[in-house]
Amino acid sequence: MTVSVLFVCLGNICRSPTADGVLRQRIAEAGWADVVRVDSAGTGDWHLGKGPDPRSTAAARERGYDLSSLRARQVSAEDFAAFDYVLAMDRSNLDALRAMCPAQYTGHLSLFLDFHPRRGADGIPEEVPDPYYGDEQGFPQVLDLVEAACDGLLAHLADRYRLPARP
Ligand code: 4NP
């Protein structure tokens, strides 16, 4: 059995590569690398083949995540069948995904922050804000949200797929 997760943002150079790097590392630490497949993609095509934004790479490196091997790609129609979870960073990305998703796979789509452990609480947004045109502070804020939502997603996957407890 394998389960697969695709993170989606607009450019695939800031938010979704950050989520990809964080979840990938947590899965490796949990010993689930053979069971959970992780990838990321963008709804837009401006940065195809490029590595993540240096500001995202630096913010991730500060917390011990390596994004250096990731390269931007665009979401394709095949992704909806290929990935069990297609998780959008914001509503605009989710709308773009819905518009291209074959009807039988719409159940694979949701907002990533639906998995935040404190979803609905004061101060917890429903979307991961786009940091691209903002200041440096936006990047650690993305990481705060991504780390928490990855923990919630891992707990969900462990429960739903009965993954063995972490060592
Ligand atoms: P991301 O951020 O969707 O988190 O990768 C963006 C990156 C690039 C652009 C917009 C958002 N852009 O307009 O080029």
- 11 pocket-lining for ligand 1 (C-beta < 6 Å): yes
Percentage, residues of the chain above pLDDT 90:
97
CA of 134 to the centre of ligand 1 (A): 11
HEC letters along the chain: CCEEEEEEECCCCCHHHHHHHHHHHHHHHHCCCCCEEEEEEECCCCCCCCCCCHHHHHHHHHCCCCCCCCCCCECCCCHHHHCCEEEECCHHHHHHHHHHCCHHHHHHEEEHHHHCCCCCCCCCCCCCCCCCCCCCCHHHHHHHHHHHHHHHHHHHHHHHCCCCCCC
pLDDT of 167 reads: 53
- Note if 150 is an active site residue: no
pLDDT tens digits along 65-116? 999 999 999 999 999 999 999 999 999 999 999 999 999 999 999 999 999 9
pLDDT of 166 reads: 59
CA of 78 to the centre of ligand 1 (A): 22
At a CB cut-off of 8 Å and minimum separation 6, what does 103 contact? none
pLDDT of 140 reads: 98
Cα(93)–Cα(131) distance, rounded to whole angstroms?
Answer: 14
pLDDT tens digits along 115-128? 999 999 999 999 99
pLDDT of 1 reads: 80
pLDDT higher than 80, residue 165:
no
- Note if 15 is an active site residue: yes
What pTM was computed for the model? 0.98
Mean predicted confidence (pLDDT) in 13-41? 97
pLDDT higher than 80, residue 27:
yes
Residue with the two structure tokens 């936006």? 138
Token pair recorded at residue 143: 């990481």
Mean of per-residue pLDDT scores for the chain: 97
